[in-house]
Structure 1
Amino acid sequence: MIRLEDLQLFLRSAALGSFSQAAREADLLPGQVSAAIARLERDLDIRLFARSTRSLRLTEEGERYLPYATEALQALRDGQDGLRGDATQLSGTLQVAAPSDLGRRVLLPWLSEFRRAHPRLDLRLLVSDQVADVFRDPVDIAIRYGRMEDASFIALPLASDNRRVLVAAPDYLRRHGAPRSLAQLADHDCLLYQLHGRVYDKWFFPDQGSQHTVAVRGPLVTDDGDVVRRWAIAGEGIAYKSWLDVGDDVRAGRLQIVLARQRGQAAPLQLVCPHRRQFSPAVRQLQGLLASRCAALVADLEQAVSRAGAPDR
């Protein structure tokens, strides 16, 4: 019979890529984790990991078994949560991964409010621009920008109409002037973002059913979206950011919309789960809250663009 503890150690070993790290996390000896994995492999009659002296990786069978193990543990957690109380009394632990800027500035107060409304619920927030793997990482849901093309994910919309806007501080625009066209962005310091070592120095804009690509440059590059926003507020250059990230700064006058007549790239926000069964009462209620709050912020985008000089659409 498969043991619950063995499944948990399998998931953590797969996520961490190490029996030793999984053992430290569970306060066990590495040999105990190895024994648990060996026991699970015997029960399943498959080999889950390919081991060497320097690496640990999932076999093809292990990769295929991983989502089933994740689903099984989640089903057990859902059952436990259901026994603790009715759906109006949310309990258990909800683990959420979110982008850095959005997580710190926008989602944090909403999540704190959600937690106060459900005091029996434990909330774990992982804030990082590194994209969380909802199959491997210790998260229940991930908040992500962009459309999910991978059919293995279940995605619920939070802000389908969100898009990017060009913004800069009033001080920067006084010193350097405002670009009058996308081509003039080449003459400005643009604040660049990188992920996994790749610098995103090409900005995309919708153009009559296709997209227009603009190559940009600048002396400042970071792997943290919040740093891009802070540099923009400090007058260091022009940023191309999601409206959800910079809307408050535009409303407060810390940033101004640049080239308001130019529509920005779509940046829909999604709530992502590895499986529909992970839509627990806590996830469903949180998705409803976030969707309603995001809708109010995105509705303000068209008003802000109009005030910045865009014609009525």
Structure 2
Amino acid sequence: MIRLDDLDIFVKAASQDSFSAVARKLDVLPAQVSAAIKRLERELDIRLFARSTRSLRLTAEGEFYLPYAREALHALYAGQEGVRNDEQQLQGTIQIACPSDLGRNLLLPWLLDFRQSHPGLNLRLSVSDKVADVYREPVDVAIRYGTLQDANFVCLPLVPDNRRVLAAAPSYIAKNGQPKNPAELAKHACLQFELSGKVYDRWRFPLAQGDVWVNVNGPVVSDDADIIRRCALAGQGIIYKSWLDISADVKSGALVLLSTDYVGEGFPLNFICPHRKQFSLAIRQLYRRVREHCMTLAHEMPQFTHEKTLAPPRADIKSGVAVMPL
């Protein structure tokens, strides 16, 4: 089989008067040039050059073969350049699964901006709090909270230090006050998330002295995390939610952080690709774009007392991806 490197060396040698001159041009040893020509001659079963100690010239067969070699290399280089241009234009479809609140209110503007930068790219979005089985469902990328236990996935961190925070609307605080410590949450209206029929009514706080679990109650339970957030905005109760999900609400004053004296549990956000072969240029560029946006919000996350003495995040595991309440 003809090696492309050998073909390239042959074409370059045709315009030189010695193998040494070709070697200097390619920054290789003269013996390597000679070996490449000999391999090509064996594959073609012809003699390409008439060689002497002082001169190098093409044989008749070499003269005949040279334009074909040039045309073949030109076609290969043109094809390679075309592939690179297509990759830069990012054509095709990316199927993305993400949580409801994060997907609608945070990721969607970023994804649309990314697609606007690459008009040849199509997005298929699955926005749901039900965790997608990335092995069985047609998913190229899953953006999910939690920890990963399956080494077969490509899992890249978006915000590894993200945490959940307590927040409520100013109207709720004016009417009901705010808890001074996690134990007082039991006396407040706490908005709860439901996943796969399980209501997350025990909230965990990894304090310096150890984990504290609080049983909570409230007027609204929903399996849609965005509904829980909207109820909080309406003054219906307290939420315990990812900083990323409510950072814009906190900055606008629509929600108020209740305390930074006690830290919420870790809630890392990850970018998951089910198969390493699917980690294409388009997906790599998408990851970089989303991570840039996420890290901007992460830098705005408030600092918590005793944060350095916390236990690692915990999660319930399902289908290889940690399932955690939103």
Aligned residues: 227
- CA RMSD across the alignment: 1.9
Q: Which runs of 5+ in 2 are unaligned?
A: 1-81, 309-326
Task: Name the counterpart of 2:218.
Answer: 218
Aligned to 1:230: 230
Report what 2:181 is aligned to. Answer: 181
Distance in 2 (CA, whole Å) between partners of 1:110 and 1:187 is 39
Quote the offset at 1:217 in angstroms: 1.1
- CA distance 1:312–1:121, change in 2 (3 Å): closer
Cα distance change, pair 121–198 in 1 and its aligned pair in 2 (3 A): same
Deviation string 1:188-234 (CA, Å, 9 cap, x unpaired) is: 00000000000000111112384221111112100000011100010
Q: How much has 1:161 moved relative to structure 2?
A: 1.3
The aligned counterpart of 1:194 is 194
Equivalent position SS for 1:301: coil
**TM-score, normalised to structure 1's length?**
0.69
Residue 125 of structure 1 and its aligned partner are, at CA, apart by 1.0
1:261 is matched with 261
User: Does residue 173 of structure 2 align to residue 170 of structure 1?
Assistant: no
- 1:19-67 Cα distance to aligned partner (Å, 9 max, x none): xxxxxxxxxxxxxxxxxxxxxxxxxxxxxxxxxxxxxxxxxxxxxxxxx
Q: Distance in 1 between matches of 2:293 and 2:252?
A: 19
Partner of 2:276: 276
Report the residue type matching 1:295 in the other structure.
Answer: M
Residue pairs, 1:10-21, within 5 angstroms? none
Cα distance between partner residues in 2 of 1:269 and 1:311: 22
State whether structure 2 residue 118 is matched by structure 1 residue 118.
yes
Distance 2:100 2:156 in 1: 20
Partner of 1:108: 108
- The one-letter code of the counterpart of 2:191 is L
CA contact (8 A) 1:141 1:273 kept: yes
Deviation at 1:151, TM superposition (A): 2.3
Identity, in percent, stands at: 52
Q: Quote the offset at 1:169 in angstroms.
A: 0.4
The residue type paired with residue 107 of structure 1 is L
Q: Distance between the aligned counterparts of 2:179 and 2:266, measured in 1? A: 21
In the alignment, the residues of structure 1 paired with residue 99 and residue 138 of structure 2 have an alpha-carbon distance, to the nearest angstrom, of: 16
**Match for residue 129 of structure 1?**
129
Q: Go from structure 1 to structure 2 and tell me whether the alpha carbon gap of 1:312 and 1:129 turns closer, same or farther (over 3 Å shift).
A: closer
State the distance in 2 between where 1:299 and 1:311 align.
18
How far apart, in 2, do the equivalents of 1:277 and 1:268 lie? 25
Structure 2: how far apart are the matches of 1:232 and 1:89?
42
Segment drifting more, 221-230 vs 273-282: 273-282
Are 1:100 and 1:129, in contact at CA under 8 Å, matched by a contact in 2?
Answer: yes
**In the superposition, relative to structure 1, how do residues 191 and 140 fare at CA in structure 2: closer, same or farther (>3 Å)?**
same
Partner of 1:99: 99
- Residue 54 of structure 1 is matched in structure 2 by none
Q: Which amino acid aligns with 1:247?
A: S
